[in-house]
C-alpha cells in the first residue's frame, strides 16, 4: 500500500505535483504569497529607489511583480484531484485510474505509448519510474524531497 503522503506529493507518472509552480499548496505558491506580503507597496518604493540609487534595475519591478502575482494565484489541486492544468493531453491520469494502480512503475505495460508526453517529458517519465522500480518508492521520495522540480 502506497503511503498517502507520497501519493499526495507525486503524480501517478512520478513527477512531483507538490513542487509544480501551479500547485495550490506548493512551496512556489506559498513563498510567492509570502514575498508579496513582505513587499507590501514596494511599487512606490521601486520608483523612488530608481531615482535615489540611480539603478535602472528597479524599472523591472512591475514585470517581476506580474510574475510573482501569477505564481501566487495558481490553484491546481494536483493530478490525483483534478485534470492537470499544464499537460491537458496527459494520458496517464485516466489510464492509471482505469487500471487502478497508484503509479506507472507498478504497471505491467510500463513503458507504454499512452502518455502523450513530448520527447523530453517522456524521457523524464521513463527515468523516474525506472529509478523508483530500482530503489523503491520510499527511498526515491526521500532522496528527491529537497530537490527542485525545475533542474
Ligand atoms: S496536476 Fe499538473 S498543473 Fe497540477 S500540480 Fe500536478 S503537474 Fe502541476
Ligand atoms: S499503461 Fe502506461 S500510462 Fe497507463 S498506467 Fe500503465 S504505464 Fe502508466
What confidence score (pLDDT) does residue 58 get? 98
Q: What is the mean pLDDT of the chain?
A: 95
What confidence score (pLDDT) does residue 67 get? 98
Tens-digit pLDDT profile for residues 108-146:
999 999 999 999 999 999 999 999 999 999 999 999 999
* pLDDT band at residue 45 under the 50/70/90 scheme: very high
CA of 145 to the centre of ligand 2 (A): 24
Ligand 1 neighbourhood includes 137 CB (under 6 angstroms): no
Q: How far apart are CA 94 and CA 120, in angstroms?
A: 21
CA of 65 to the centre of ligand 1 (A): 23
Nearest to 68 by CA among 87, 96, 42: 42
What confidence score (pLDDT) does residue 17 get? 96
Whole-model pTM: value is: 0.90
Which helix or strand (DSSP H or E) is residue 51 part of? helix 42-53
What does the pLDDT average to over 28-44? 97
* Domain ranges, ordered by start, for the chain: 1-15+82-151, 25-73
Q: Name the 3-class secondary structure at 76.
A: strand
- pLDDT at residue 1 is higher than 60: no
Asked if 53 and 143 count as a contact pair (C-beta separation under 8 A), the reply is no
* pLDDT band at residue 33 under the 50/70/90 scheme: very high
Nearest to 68 by CA among 105, 39, 103: 39
Tell me the C-alpha to C-alpha distance, in Å, between residue 127 and each of 1, 18, 51, 110, 151.
Answer: 22, 19, 51, 12, 14
Ligand 1 neighbourhood includes 14 CB (under 6 angstroms): no
Tell me the C-alpha to C-alpha distance, in Å, between residue 122 and each of 21, 42, 69, 125.
Answer: 20, 42, 31, 5
Q: Which atom of ligand 1 is nearest to the CA of 18?
A: 5
What confidence score (pLDDT) does residue 151 get? 87
Query: How crowded is the C-beta side of 86, counted as CA atoms within 13 Å?
Result: 17
Tens-digit pLDDT profile for residues 59-116:
999 999 999 999 999 999 999 999 999 999 999 999 999 999 999 999 999 999 999 9
Q: How far apart are CA 75 and CA 140, in angstroms?
A: 26
Q: Which atom of ligand 2 is nearest to the CA of 96?
A: 5
CA of 68 to the centre of ligand 1 (A): 18
Amino acid at each position: 500500500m502506497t503511503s498517502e503522503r507520497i501519493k499526495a506529493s507525486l503524480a501517478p507518472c512520478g513527477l512531483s505535483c507538490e513542487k509544480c509552480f501551479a500547485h495550490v499548496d506548493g512551496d512556489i505558491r506559498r513563498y510567492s504569497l509570502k514575498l508579496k506580503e513582505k513587499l507590501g507597496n514596494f511599487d512606490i518604493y521601486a520608483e523612488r529607489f530608481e531615482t535615489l540609487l540611480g539603478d535602472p534595475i528597479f524599472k523591472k519591478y512591475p514585470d517581476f511583480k506580474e510574475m510573482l502575482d501569477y505564481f501566487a494565484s495558481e490553484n491546481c489541486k494536483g493530478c490525483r484531484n483534478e485534470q492537470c492544468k499544464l499537460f491537458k493531453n496527459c494520458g496517464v491520469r485516466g489510464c492509471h485510474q482505469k487500471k487502478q494502480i497508484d503509479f506507472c512503475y507498478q504497471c505491467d505495460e510500463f513503458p507504454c505509448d499512452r502518455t502523450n508526453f513530448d520527447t523530453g517529458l517522456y524521457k523524464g517519465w521513463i527515468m523516474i519510474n525506472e529509478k523508483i522500480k530500482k530503489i523503491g518508492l520510499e527511498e526515491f521520495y526521500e532522496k528527491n524531497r529537497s530537490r527542485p522540480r525545475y533542474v
